[in-house]
Amino acid sequence: MYKVRTYNQISSKGLDRFPRDNYEIASDFAEPDAFMLRSHKLHDEEIPASVSAVARAGAGVNNIPVPEFTKKGIVVFNTPGANANAVKELIASALFMASRDIFGGMNYVQGLTDITDGAEMSKLLEKQKKQFAGCEVAGKTLGVVGLGAIGSMVANMALELGMNVVGYDPAISVEAAWRLSSDVEKMENLQSLLGRADFITLHVPALEVTRHLINAEALQCMKSSAILLNFAREEVVDASAVQNALDNGGLGKYVTDFPTPELLGRDNVLLMPHIGASTEEAEENCAMMAADQLMDYLENGNIVNSVNFPATKMPRNGGYRITFCNENVPKVLGNVLSLLADRSMNVIDMVNKSRDDIAYNIVDVETEPTAELLEEIRNVDGIVVVRSL
């Protein structure tokens, strides 16, 4: 029986994926096999030695100490793409709100509380509506920085709105490239994209290399009328540099769901809570994907959508399964295979993958591994975690 400790309010559709004859789900297990969470922060928590995996029902993993978990052999999963449509739709609304002063117009109407005559209100609004005029997005150029699950959907959507779309992503995956329309013009570098676009939308993860990707230097590459959208991560944009550009006429507008105090109260800034994935459908999709990935790992050792371990998957072809992760150094796999050979254990199938400083292995053998053998594997230099499934 596997035990999964949950944090936050996980969608019931995700929790219902776990068959109750093989899984127990609760928020108070002392020694769970895995965690499942949304935004709960694990940085300051003591992690039980029993935990082998953490599934985050969402894309970002800033609330999880990933490097620390990697050293312990804990696989961290996220759910890229599960909330992509929800974010895409919010980006569409942001484009429209930034191109016309919809928000200002709505606030103006709500403020007319002293007018009780409908004809008078209609006449006044007809006279004042010009102050909320704007432009259409059709025919404008949208620059999409990051062409993953969300970025590619945003790019394709913008094409359907009649926009010209340029994109930049030096690390685009084959899967993302297949999703992307051929009408999206790929740019060789970020500066070229920033100089072309009327609207710029960011869809990159929060990494050290993307920290303040949009800074004072990048802002100087943009048109002075450009509108910048950040629905990715707060760290991707230097808020103080954006504030200076807005003050000096170097940027037209800034739209984000990562508000900071210095940006409050400005007419050329649209701020909202971090609500990109806050739809019922997105929460359900994320929870279901997280549950499926967690079960496949706990039961079969397969890894899909991990942020710290290599993607590793092998079908069951009979026999017994051993999985182990190790430091990515020479001879570890060979030493483990030697232990199996010493016991005349035939290997049916195996797969070995590595990612940065960690390697992961799935080995199917004909005979059931003993506790003694598993302990010997644990004692091999470089081994981090061993599991028998």
Pairing type for strands 34-37 and 2-6 reads parallel
Distance CA 352, CA 361 (A): 5
Tokens 């359907």, located at residue:
160
Report CA-CA distances (Å) from 233 to 77, 96, 176, 237, 283: 18, 21, 20, 8, 18
| CA gap 156, 184 in Å, rounded | 8
Find all residues with CB under 8 Å of 102, minimum gap 6, and list them: 96, 132
Told to judge if 56 belongs to the known catalytic residues of this protein, a careful annotator would answer no
Following CA atoms 300, 37, 360, 19 in sequence, which dihedral angle do they give, to the nearest 10 degrees? 0
Structural contact between residues 288 and 17, judged by C-beta atoms closer than 8 angstroms: yes
* Nearest CA-CA partner of 69 in 81, 59, 55, 79: 55
Q: How many residues does this entry show for the chain?
A: 389
Rounded CA gap, 6 and 8, in Å? 7
| 368 is an active site residue | no
Q: Any catalytic annotation for residue 372?
A: no
- Catalytic option among 68, 262, 280, 366: 262
* 8 A C-beta contact, residue 204 and residue 176: no
Q: Exactly one of 40, 212, 274, 387 is catalytic; which is it?
A: 274
Catalytic center residues: 233, 262, 274
